Structure 1
Amino acid sequence: MLVFSKARLVFLSVPKTGTSAFEAALGPQAAMIISDPPELKHAPVFRYNRFFRPMLEKFVSEKMDVLAVMREPINWLGSWYRYRQRDAVQGQENATHGVTFDEFVLAYMKGNRPAFAEVGSQAKFLETQKNGTGVTHLFRYEDQPGLIAFLEERLQTNITLPNINVSPAAPLTLSSNVEMRFRRKFAGEFQLYDSIEACGRYKPLPNAR
């Protein structure tokens, strides 16, 4: 999470959406960088609302805008799948070595997910809270030019992103049957992603699942 007090902007770090590169590029300009532990670095809207928002509202005179990035849902799972094929995690319970992408997505759809498929939910991460706290600018991960242009204008800076945290290459073949089941069961994820328009405009979906 990055906090830019002068620009009145909080950049939430949705996992697997490239925010580590923005943290590296924009860290020197941020008033606050939350990079550890992961539970705080990747604080979702509900945790931001509970712990960070009250503090910021107390010391920053104006309301903060909240920025986040969302990845196309299947592509997002694919990034997790590849990330957990790193040599560093081989043999651990959350590794995906020896698991096909079909098997990974099927495991993700279970009520009681195995450790290797427990990766959370983008829609849940971005869920607007009962007091109205939510993301005000939501960009598609695939719209890097739009996101960079927004940040350059808002922060009055030029941005050059480093190439970090790149997942290992792995085939991401998803059968049509599994994809259909995933799209049906997690329709809220696709609905939220599809609602994102140019320039980070979108229709907030309270209680998205």
Structure 2
Amino acid sequence: MMAMPQDGFCFLATTKTGSTSLEAAFQRHAQLLARRPPRMKHMTARTFDAVLAPVLEHYGHPRDSYELLCVVREPVDWVHSWWRYRARPEAAGTPNSTAGVSFEAFAERVVSGEVHLGSWVEFTRTLPGRPAVERIYRYENLDRAAAWMAGRLGVAVPQLPRVNVSPRSGSGIATTTRALLEQHFADDVALHDAAR
């Protein structure tokens, strides 16, 4: 999470969407930057409303003076990225490791509820009576999010560094499993489709 209310926006860092790249490119402009622990870095819009919005308001930045911005990823691609991330050698032996687990099996665990990764709809849901997240960009349009942020800050659009990238894998997904994931994340698919 990066707060730049003096420039009219705060960035909510969603998981596995290039948020770390955006943070690396723009962190020097932030009034507030939350990087650790992960739950603070990836705070939801509701947590932002409950915890940080009052702090910013106390220091002269009422919620209607800035926009909330985040990035969302196509849900099946997002689940695939989580599977690859959890298969990295550093995760071996941990309860979340997917080393030796096929993507099909991981996807089935997600659909069954055994593995809970979250939801874009839940992430972007604000507290009742609070403004919605105003700017939601697609992961595949990360450059547009960066250009908008740079424009607000009055700086040149930076080259986004490639950081925290999940290892590559050629494992595909069966059509039936893709359909199950899309059904499971139907509201998130719709949110992604409606994003900028």
Residue 60 of structure 2 aligns with which residue? 60
* Unmatched runs of 5 consecutive residues or more in structure 2: none
Deviations along 1:150-183, one digit per CA (max 9) or x if unpaired, are 1111111121221211111112411111111222
CA apart distance, 1:85: 1.0
1:161 paired to 2:160: yes
Does the 8 Å contact 1:49/1:133 carry over to 2?
Answer: no
Q: Which amino acid is 2:148 matched to? A: F
User: CA 1:44–1:172 in 2, change beyond 3 Å: closer, same or farther?
Assistant: farther
| CA distance in structure 2 between the partners assigned to 1:5 and 1:185 by the alignment | 35
User: CA 1:94–1:190 in 2, change beyond 3 Å: closer, same or farther?
Assistant: same
CA apart distance, 1:124: 1.1
Deviations along 1:38-96, one digit per CA (max 9) or x if unpaired, are 11110001111110111112212442210000011111111111111111111111010
Normalization by structure 1: what TM-score?
Answer: 0.87
Residue 143 of structure 1 aligns with which residue? 141
Q: Which amino acid is 2:4 matched to? A: F
Report how many aligned residue pairs link the two structures. Answer: 193
| CA distance in structure 1 between the partners assigned to 2:30 and 2:61 by the alignment | 17
* Unmatched runs of 5 consecutive residues or more in structure 1: 198-209
RMSD of aligned Cα (Å): 1.4
| CA distance in structure 1 between the partners assigned to 2:143 and 2:19 by the alignment | 14
Residue 180 of structure 1 aligns to a residue in which SS? helix
| CA distance in structure 2 between the partners assigned to 1:156 and 1:88 by the alignment | 39
Residue 97 of structure 1 aligns with which residue? 99
CA apart distance, 1:139: 0.4
Residue 78 of structure 2 aligns to a residue in which SS? helix
| CA distance in structure 2 between the partners assigned to 1:133 and 1:39 by the alignment | 22
Normalization by structure 2: what TM-score?
Answer: 0.93
Greater RCO (CA < 8 Å, at least 6 residues apart):
2
- Structure in which a larger fraction of residues adopt helix: 2
CA apart distance, 1:190: 0.7
